[in-house]
Amino acid sequence: MSALLKTVNLERTFGAVTAATDINVELNSGEIVGVIGSNGAGKTTFINMVTGYIQPSGGDILVRGESIIGKSPREVSLAGVGRSFQVAQLFQELTVLDNMLIAFGFSVDRKLSFLNPLRSAEKIEKAQAVLREYEIEQYTDEVVSTLPQGVRKLLDIAMAMLSNPGLMLLDEPTSGVAIEDKFTLMDTVMAAVRKSDAATMFVEHDMEVVLRYADRVLAFYDGRVLADGPTQKVLSDPKVQELVVGHHLDLSDSAPATTKESGHA
Amino acid sequence: MKQLIAILVDGSVYASWLFIISAGLTLIYGVMRILNMSHGSFYALGAYSGAAMVGWYFSTGSVPWFSFVALIGAALVAGITVGLLVERGLLRFMYGRDEVVMILVTYAVLLIMEDAIKLIWGVEPYFAYQPYTMLGRTKFAGLSFANYDFMLIGVSILIGLALWYGLNRTRNGKLLRVVIHDREIAGALGINVSRIFTITFLIGAGIGALAGALTAPGLSVVPGMGIEVIVLAFAVVVIGGLGSISGALVGALIVGMARATAVHLYPEVELFVIYAVMGLVLAFRPQGLFAVANARKI
Amino acid sequence: MKTKSLALLFILGLAILAGGLLLPQWMSYLFTIAMGKGLVVLGLVLLMRAGLVSFGQGLYYCVGAYVAGMLTQFAEVTDILLILLASISVSVVIAAIIGLLLCRYREIFFAMFSMAFSMILYGLLVRMQVLGSTDGFNVANPSLLGWAPGPEGASDLVLAVAVFLVVSLGILAWRYLNSLSGYAGEAVRENEIRLEYLGGSVFKVVYVKYIIAAALAAIGGTVTALVSGHVDPEMAYWTTSGEFVFIALMGGTAHVAAPIIAAVLFEALRTYAFAVAPYTWQMILGFALLAIILFMPSGLWSLVERFQNKKARKTT
């Protein structure tokens, strides 16, 4: 059986700058991988390549054994790859409900109906169920641009998860979210991800978040994968601590990576 | 052979004319991100004020050669005055708005200026042929060309050089290029963006009026003349890439030659060919020949 | 609420029809012209809801008008239904081709390229001697299913058809705007990246809207040609398209009735201004446009909404 995601010698240059090189990563269903690295280390470039937003300069990306090189974001998303964004990408001037209904229409129903009302009772019920699951139901009728960053991030992820993508890439899900809300947000998201059994990658700067939710860590440094392995092992690697984390990590009193902390839920 | 020379000369003349018209349009867009629909009205304003002034000048019986000063002087004064009025009185309150909104705003300015011109100069055509006939004609290769048209080529080269020098060799020009390149950085560097905008708009409006004045002697000045040039100027500018002066030059040459070829060989497709060229360029290079594509950041 | 506004639209249609038939000839003529333009603007509003302003709807307006003119004059087809069918088909084919190029563009590029395409048609028509060059040519009186009402009744027939079209297409457009396809427009306007990552095709959304808008503009052009009995290249000139943009901004994009009402107001205003001060009409338009942009960005319909909100506050 081929891996869900496999990249082969993936490379991307911008003019004279090499943003990513020599990236060989494999990912299987159910895995939850934290992606770490300082700014400019190649994390977002990697995610952008895997989701078709930018094309690699060299190498190959295989999703379920099939190359996605040359495919547009739309085609990649139809191949079962979902993503969320560092800055939530939403329909800003529409309500949360309308955002969700449009997302349902395009990613689940996949039928561009011309005359059936979008806001039918049945569709609204379905959308609200999802909003409930992500704990943002109270914002149903609010216009997105008026909402706090954390809510937008959740909505962004909820919309991307609707089609049950086999592979989900979260680009800094907790950036811009208040420290005290980070774990609540991640608990909600991880619960949804685990339920769907998607392979998940999330880019994260906060090592506590990585420690708590990732089974495995990819550490990027200078456009390369510096380390790839179980969370504890990678984070205790002195090279990773020096070049990526920037300080010594004390791993002894952290919760084991795979168990979900209930205190914040 | 004769036809080829005719096409080349006519093409160059037409290209020069196009370049003068579109230089102001592309400059204003490059700096201010405003596609100035009223550019054509400044062209008409220049033509009317120039023609009216030339008519008055000759009625006084003064030295004919100074009619050029009257023609150009009147157009520049009118163009810059109205430009100042439009920029200070209206546009500056709109900066930062969506580019499409700015199209609508300048479209409103165009509508107002069109009627204002009719109210001032009436609807009867104006003629200012004297500067045109005064320069005489040159014959070569069995063809006869108006010397005025050659002068037009000269003037457009002068304008091109002046813009190039202004943008590349003067302090203000360098500041202008910073603004074109990145407005936020320009603001952060302490460049007075608002002042740069005013100056740019005045230069653009001035060149637009100048283009009108230079055109006036060659044809009759009639209502609605400004409306026709804006679409043409846009086609030229977009071929080279909106906001690029060298792009406007190349666009003007391509359109000028294409039109001259059409006029001499297939006159019925004259207007069509201009847009066909534009369509072709855009089908293969959506940003125009010179502009750099910029992707949206996520 | 929604059924109420639907009923409102229907009553409005009946009122216009009854009023139009009772009113003096010149007024019902204006009404019919306004209905025609209202349909063009309805199409434009669909595009504007997707964030796209077309300065070239005159292209399809003119196509619809010329198809009507050519059929009645050169093919001796006068049946209004056949004429409508033909102008819709022709405009859809043209839009399907031009749309392939145009629908990749946004904002000012969409606006200006659509304008350029309408100028191509204008450029071709002014050079065509067969079609009367800049003067255009006359359109014969229409008939309906074999019934030819003659010169007097023809304008009433066109009025009735126009009102029927406005009401039925208005209802269709209203349902369309409330469907996924309709909302897809707002989605494109707000965030194309998100739409693509949801698996939606932004190009397809825009393309379909462009074609629908073209068909509506062609229908409007046909109505105008049949009631005025004359067509000329001016219909494709970009100032005609500019007028449509003006009406669209005047009405706003909030409701399908807005473009129709705005078109009626526009025609009334124009007739009045032309009579009082012929050389200041464009100037009036210009100042009105500035006022709308500055003070009423969502158009006249925002007045209706303000009124509704006030009422809603009172009742709660």
C97-118 pLDDT tens trace: 989 888 888 888 888 888 888 8
Residue range B245-249: average pLDDT? 83
Q: Give me the pLDDT at residue B124, please.
A: 80
In angstroms, the CA A12 to CA A32 distance is 25
- Measure the CA–CA gap between B206 and B20, rounded to whole angstroms: 11
Which of B98, B296, B297, B298 to probe the A interface (max A CBs under 10 A)?
B298
Mean pLDDT of C47-54: 90
The chain-wide mean pLDDT, for chain C, equals 84
Among residues B108, B109, B53, the alpha carbon closest in space to that of B76 is found at B53
Nearest to B279 by CA among A124, C119, C310: C119
pLDDT, tens digit, 9 for 90 and up, residues B69-84: 777 888 888 888 898 8
Measured between beta carbons, the chain A residues lying within 8 angstroms of B294 are none
CA dihedral sign, ordered A13, A18, A22, A28? negative
Q: Where are the alpha helices (DSSP H) in C50-106?
A: 58-74, 80-102
Chains contacting C with at least 3 CB pairs below 8 Å? A, B
Find the distance separating the first CA and the last CA of chain B, reported in whole Å: 57
Confidence band for B121, pLDDT divided at 50, 70 and 90: confident
pLDDT range class, residue C7, cuts 50, 70, 90: confident
- The domain containing residue A3 runs over which residues? 1-80+166-265
**In total, how many domains does chain C have?**
1
User: C265 in a domain, yes or no?
Assistant: no
| Same domain (yes/no): A259, A170 | yes
In a domain, C310, yes or no: no
Question: Is C243 within the bounds of a domain?
Answer: no
Q: Write the CA distances from A165 to A53, A158, A193, B157, integer angstroms.
A: 17, 11, 10, 60
Contacts of C55 in chain B (CB under 8 A): 103
Identify the helix (H) or strand (E) that includes residue A170: strand A167-170
Instruction: Give B171-182 pLDDT, tens digit per residue.
Output: 878 887 777 777
pLDDT above 80 (res B279): no
Q: Is A220 helix (H, G, I), strand (E, B) or coil?
A: strand
Q: Is the pLDDT of residue C59 over 60?
A: yes
- Tell me, what's the pLDDT at C1? 45
How many independent structural domains does chain A possess? Answer: 2
> In this complex, is the C-beta atom of A2 within 8 Å of any C-beta atom belonging to chain B?
no
* Residue A85 within a domain: no
The ipTM, to two decimals, is 0.83
Q: How large is the average pLDDT for residues A31-43? A: 83
Contacts of B298 in chain A (CB under 8 A): 48, 53, 85-87, 89
C134 close to B (CB below 8 A): no
B140-157 burial, b if ≥16 CB within 10 A, otherwise e?
eeeeebbebbbbbbebbe
Q: Which of A164, A182, A203 is the last residue of a domain?
A: A164
**Which of C119, C122, C289 faces B108 most closely, judged by CB atoms?**
C289
Residues of chain A contacting C186 with CB distance shorter than 8 Å: 91, 93-94, 98
CA C22 – CA C176 distance, rounded (Å): 33
Q: For strands B137-140 and B143-146, give the pairing.
A: antiparallel
Q: Which of A93, A52, A48, A54 is nearest to A73 (CA)?
A: A52
pLDDT of residue B280: 77
Choice among A21-30, A52-61, B57-66 with the minimum mean pLDDT: B57-66
Q: Does pLDDT of A264 surpass 50?
A: no
pLDDT the model gives residue C307: 67
Give pLDDT, residue B288.
66
C64 confidence band (pLDDT: 50, 70, 90) = very high
The whole-angstrom separation of Cα C288 and Cα C301 is 15
Q: CB neighbours of A258 closer than 8 A, spacing ≥ 6?
A: A215
Are B123 and B220 in contact by the 8 Å Cβ rule? The answer is no
Distance from CA of C283 to the nearest CA of B (A): 4
8 Å CB contact of A77 and C196? yes
Pick from B255-269, C88-102, C181-195: least confident: B255-269
Any residues with CB less than 8 A from the CB of B100 and at least 6 apart, and which?
C53, C107, C108, C111
The domain boundary residue, chosen from A164, A183, A203: A164
User: Region C72-93: what's the mean pLDDT?
Assistant: 88
Q: Are residues A69 and A200 in the same domain?
A: yes
* Crossing angle for the helix pair C2-22 and C257-276, to the nearest 10 degrees: 30
In this structure, are residues B231 and C116 in contact, taking their beta carbons and an 8 Å threshold?
yes
Report the pLDDT value the prediction gives residue A259, as an integer from 0 to 100.
41
Looking at the complex, report in whole angstroms how far the Cα of residue A228 sits from the nearest Cα belonging to chain C: 28
User: Could you tell me the pTM of the whole model?
Assistant: 0.86
Among A164, A198, A230, residue at a domain's last position: A164
Which residues of A, range 73-92, sit inside 8 Å of B by Cβ? Answer: 85-87, 89
Three-class secondary structure of residue C179 per DSSP: strand
State the residue range of the domain holding C195.
2-236
Asked if residue C184 has pLDDT above 50, the reply is yes
| Separation of alpha carbons A112 and C236, rounded Å | 32
Residue owning tokens 């897809």? C184
Residue C271 covered by a domain = no
Q: Confidence class of residue A263 from pLDDT cuts 50, 70 and 90?
A: very low
A179 and A257 both lie in a single domain: yes
Rounded mean pLDDT of C161-174? 87
Look up residue C302 and give its two tokens. 């925002």
Q: Is residue A63 included in any domain, yes or no?
A: yes
Specify whether A171 is located in the same domain as A74. yes
Does any domain span residue A199? yes
Relative to beta strand A167-170, strand A81-84 is parallel
In this structure, which amino acid lies at residue B128?
Answer: A
Residues of chain B found within 8 Å of residue A53, distances taken between Cβ atoms: 298
Inside any domain, residue C316? no
Reply yes or no on whether the pLDDT at B129 is more than 50.
yes
Give pLDDT tens digits for A98-112.
898 898 888 877 777
Stated length of chain A:
265
**Contact state of B108 with C290 under an 8 Å Cβ cutoff:** yes
- Output the 3-class SS for chain B: CHHHHHHHHHHHHHHHHHHHHHHHHHHHHHHHCCCCCCHHHHHHHHHHHHHHHHHHHHHCCCCHHHHHHHHHHHHHHHHHHHHHHHHHHCHHHCCCCCHHHHHHHHHHHHHHHHHHHHHHHCCCCECCCHHHHHCCEEEECCEEEEHHHHHHHHHHHHHHHHHHHHHHHCHHHHHHHHHHHCHHHHHHCCCCHHHHHHHHHHHHHHHHHHHHHHHHHHCCECCCHHHHHHHHHHHHHHHHCCCCHHHHHHHHHHHHHHHHHHHHHCHHHHHHHHHHHHHHHHHHCCCCCCCCCCCCCC
| pLDDT tens string A181-218 | 888 888 888 888 888 888 888 888 888 888 888 888 88
Residue B109: per-residue pLDDT: 92
Instruction: Give the Cα separation of C241 and C262 in Å (integer).
Output: 15
The pLDDT-based confidence of B294 (bands split at 50, 70, 90) is: very low
DSSP C256: T
Query: Shortest Cα distance from B295 to chain A (angstroms)?
Result: 10
C-beta of residue B200 within 8 angstroms of C-beta of residue B176 = yes
The answer to whether residue C65 scores a pLDDT higher than 90 is yes
The lowest-confidence range among B56-60, B157-161, C276-280 is B56-60
Q: Are A86 and A175 in contact (CB under 8 A)?
A: yes
In this structure, the answer to whether residues A60 and A178 fall within a common structural domain is yes
Does the residue A60 lie in any domain?
yes
Judging by beta carbons within 10 Å of its beta carbon (0-12, 13-18, 19+), is residue C42 exposed, middle or buried?
buried
Q: Which range (A184-193, C57-66, C145-154) has the least confidence?
A: C145-154
On whether the CB atoms of residues C186 and A119 are closer than 8 A, the answer is no
* The pLDDT value given to residue C308: 67
